[in-house]
Structure 1
Amino acid sequence: MASDDIAQLADALSKTHVGDGELSYKGQGLKLDDAESVEELVREIEQSQGLRSLCLEGNTVGVEAARAIAKALGSKDLLQRCYWSDMFTGRLRSEIPTALRFLGGALMSAGARLTELDLSDNAFGPDGVKGIEQLLKSPSCHTLRELKLNNCGMGIGGGKILSEALIECHRKSSALGAPLRLRVFVAGRNRLENEGASALARAFQLMGSLEEVHMPQNGINYAGVMALASAMRHNPELRTLNFNDNTFTKKGTMAMAQALRHLRNVQVINFGDCLVRSEGAIAIAAVLREGLPILKELNLSFGEVTEAAALVVAQAVMDKPHMEKVDLNGNSLGEEGCEALREVMENSNKGDMLASLSDDEGEPDDEDEDEDEDDEEDDDDDEDDGDDDASDDCNEDNEADGEIMKENGTSRKDDSPEKPQSPAEVVSFLSCPSAEKLLQLGEMRTNLQEHVTASDPHRAALVFVKIASLYREDPETKTAVLETIDAVLKKLLSGSALQSYSFLSALLVMMGLLRGEGKMKKASLTPGQLLCLEHAVQQEYFAEHHASLLHSFTSRNSEALKCCSSAGERLSSALEKKCQH
């Protein structure tokens, strides 16, 4: 070893922090190539009685150097924390798995029981995961509480290997009566994509012990997000969810919203740069209304959220006593929308909670409204019903009604009890609605409730629009329409906030007041639809927060309501009165 290298190492060792069982060489920039280059380091490890923490971060360790360090670690049975991030800079990728096997093997031989393992910022790829595979499966990791693999380039293959290792570790530890209880998992910037994320979701669901999950920037879209969301709901102690810079779209966000309904301890949600969009933001707002009691931070930045949806979110956080930060920067609010959002927050003495809006994208262009739909949404069966324009085009409505009929048989997919086959008159009405048919139904109008369910908000919105479009001022028709509307809405708005908000957002999309995803076409807006809503808003079943949601959109879509100006004014007046109560 050259004399200048020895001097460098001696100087570095003089700065080494030793105490409380910790030995740290953090950021020393040591180039450790072989056994000779680590002689002093090895001696310090050997002489450290009760060694519980070893930090090698910010150095570069070769295979032979790792072998020598491993030999020294072979007797350190009290070691619990290994901070080994950024310690292979400049090494061949083929070297890293071998070096990791040496180090991991030493921990297993020593009988160490790790609580924390940090291998972040080591670009070792799937082969690197293979290098720690046996360690992760061993008793040395049965006690693991924090696993950090940020920016390691694991890829799909590495994610699958890691998942299987964690599942095996959980299986073996459970057999010994002390199952793996991993609390912190960090794996951002790893190109896990859907397959890798879905594989890890299986491990997360099995463990059920996670408190923090950080998986930003992994190229995950809604399929992987849905798998992760399903796993998250089985981890009741979750405090931090960070999926920044993946692609949720509506389906992913709705799945995450459903998961959040089951979690009471979440303090930080980071869905920034995840394309949650307005419908997704409304769903998150619904969960805020009825849950997440100790939430501190919410990040929905850079998600194509429009002004009205942002205001719905703002209103939902007002009663959160622990709330510290709401980030809606980089969305599509426009200058007036940004000002309106600031005003709402400041009027409630929450102005300091709102993050900067300096990167707002401005109001979306109308001509781009249907151009940003994701290809993966196009084949969504739940959206297909919306293809039917809710006008009087009976041929287009037949397909949707055929789907409605399926709900009354054994093909139902929701949790509702099986319902009897509807009378032919009801089916005929839904296929081609008319005021005459509605009146002829008489008491059978109550059967129309059976064709709406909170689990299918788009179909429910379609049924509402069909009925409301028949509104007339003659007393008999008016009474029939409003009684039917009352029955339908009372059912749809009596469930959870997430269910009712999902229906209302679907209705807003269908009426052209909210930009949606998928292939659902807008209905032809009629005065009857607005007058039915005006009536409904005044009823007891229509809660103030439901009115507030609608008011956020109708008050900011005056152009869309111009074709029904009188009815629009009546609805706006009713909404304002309800919101003031």
Structure 2
Amino acid sequence: MSEIPHALSAICDALADHPTLEELDLSDNAFGGRCAENMVNFLQTNQSVQRFKLNNNGMGPAGGTIIANAIAKNAETSKAQGKTSNLRTVVCGRNRLENGSAAAWAKAFAAHENLREVRLPQNGIRPEGIKQLAEGLSKCKNLESLDLQDNTATESGTRAISAALPSWPNLQSLNLSDLLLSPKGGISLATALGKGTNPHLHTLKLQFGEIDARAIHILAKAIQEHLKDLTCLELNGNRADSEDACIEQIRDALASHGHEDALDERKYLSLWIHASWY
């Protein structure tokens, strides 16, 4: 295992000044946080990369902070040179980033204002961290896809995401499944979607979010009035039954735009859950 840091440095340093590199994917390698420093030179230096993917590497909060700080430094370098950052996609899921690195990631995202896609699923990030991320991402006015699946938002984190939604007029895909949105958080989110600031949304994943009929009623109205492009909606595992009136309203709203199949009925047969599961 001792050769891994040296190998990673060799790869990243060789690519640091590559002028036409568009994507670097280092996912599914057992680096751990101890190897984060070996990527710093590349992340700070390379100005051409558009997509950086570091998924399932066991970085931890400390490693995640090092990576995020290097990405933020890259933006500062671009700005100092009078250039616009080329970074468009950041993927860093399953890395145990937790709240400890959230502030650094928020700063990095805010610095790269032209980001289009951010994916941070399964990182053990809790409400305060979700709030920080949402505030940082609110600076990314061109964001098209956001995946925060399988972290923990609760009401406070969900309200922060809801507050950021108007900042993303080009948003197309939003994955907040397994995020423990909470009943009140669900209302906040559905109400924000009902303002019509995200008309291009085509994928909305809200499975196992502990949202209830009140939020689903509001969501149905939002779909009817503003989300005509919604072709994929996942609501399985929330506090409603598949035969409830609110679900019928969802079906009717989707059907009004010709998207009768947007709600995955096969996954929808056991919609209700008990809060005690959490």
Partner of 2:56: 151
Q: Which amino acid aligns with 1:277?
A: S
Q: 1:113 offset after TM fit, Å?
A: 4.0
Query: What's the CA shift string for 1:439-485, capped at 9, x where partnerless?
Result: xxxxxxxxxxxxxxxxxxxxxxxxxxxxxxxxxxxxxxxxxxxxxxx
Question: Residue by residue, what CA displacement relative to the aligned partner does 1:360-385 show, whole Å, maximum 9, x if unpaired?
Answer: 234x48xx6xx97xxxxxxxxxxxxx
Query: Matched residue of 1:353: which SS?
Result: coil
Q: How does 1:191-210 map to 2 (within 5 A)?
A: 191-210=96-115
CA apart distance, 1:321: 1.7
The match for 2:213 is 307
Match of 1:124 in 2: 31
In structure 2, C-alpha distance between the alignment counterparts of 1:217 and 1:330, rounded to whole Å? 18
Residue 152 of structure 2: aligned partner: 247
Specify the code of the residue in structure 1 equivalent to 2:263: L
Secondary structure (helix, strand or coil) at the match of 2:204 reads strand
Q: Which has the higher helix share?
A: 1
**In 2, distance between residues paired with 1:335 and 1:272?**
18
Is residue 328 of structure 1 aligned with residue 239 of structure 2? no
Gaps of 5+ in 1: 1-91, 373-581
Letter of the structure 2 residue corresponding to residue 303 of structure 1: G
> Structure 2 vs 1, CA of residues 96 and 358 (structure 1 numbering), >3 Å: closer, same or farther?
farther
Equivalent AA in structure 2 for residue 309 of structure 1: A
SS in 2 for 1:216: coil
The count of aligned residue pairs is: 270
Matched-pair contact (CA < 8 Å) for 1:345–1:351: no
Q: 1:355 aligned to 2:264?
A: yes
Residue deviations 1:242-280, cap 9 Å, x none? Answer: 000000000000000000122100011100000112211
Rounded to whole Å, the distance in 2 between the matches of 1:306 and 1:157 is 37
Q: Which residue, 214, 235, 242 being the options, matches 2:119? A: 214
Structure with greater Cα Rg? 1
Question: Identity over aligned residues, as a percent?
Answer: 37
* 2:169 paired with 1:261: no
Measure, in 1, the Cα distance between the counterparts of 2:242 and 2:173. Answer: 28
Counterpart residue number, 1:295: 201
Q: TM-score, normalised by structure 1?
A: 0.45
Q: Which residue of 223, 227, 230 maps to 1:317?
A: 223
Deviation at 1:195, TM superposition (A): 1.5
Question: What's the TM-score once normalised by structure 2's chain length?
Answer: 0.90
Instruction: Please tell me whether the aligned partners of residues 249 and 280 of structure 1 are also in contact (alpha carbons under 8 angstroms).
Output: yes
- Secondary structure of 1:298's counterpart equals strand
Aligned residue identity for 1:105: D
User: Which runs of 4 or more aligned residues in structure 1 lie more than 3 Å from their structure 2 counterparts after TM superposition?
Assistant: 110-113, 345-348
Q: State the distance in 2 between where 1:346 and 1:103 align.
A: 51
Higher RCO, 1 or 2 (CA under 8 Å, sep at least 6)? 2
How far apart, in 1, do the equivalents of 2:214 and 2:12 lie? 53
Deviation readout 1:36-61 (Å, 9 max, x if unpaired) = xxxxxxxxxxxxxxxxxxxxxxxxxx
Shift of 1:224: 0.5
Deviation of the 1:183 alpha carbon: 0.6
Find the aligned partners of 1:274 and 1:209 in 2 and give their Cα distance.
26
Q: Is the 8 A contact 1:302 1:328 kept in 2?
A: yes
Residue by residue, what CA displacement relative to the aligned partner does 1:85-139 show, whole Å, maximum 9, x if unpaired?
xxxxxxx2x322110111223234x65442211101112011222121112122x
Q: Given the alignment, which residue of 20, 37, 43 partners 1:136?
A: 43
Cα deviation, residue 173, structure 1: 2.4
Q: Is the 8 A contact 1:342 1:351 kept in 2?
A: no
CA distance in structure 1 between the aligned counterparts of 2:234 and 2:214, rounded to whole angstroms: 15
Cα shift readout 1:124-159 (whole Å, capped 9, x = no counterpart): 011222121112122xx1122110001111110111
Q: Deviation at 1:347?
A: 3.4
- CA root-mean-square deviation: 1.9
Aligned partner of 1:164: which letter? N
Letter in 2 for 1:296: H
Partner of 1:98: 6
Q: Aligned to 1:334, what secondary structure does the other structure show?
A: coil
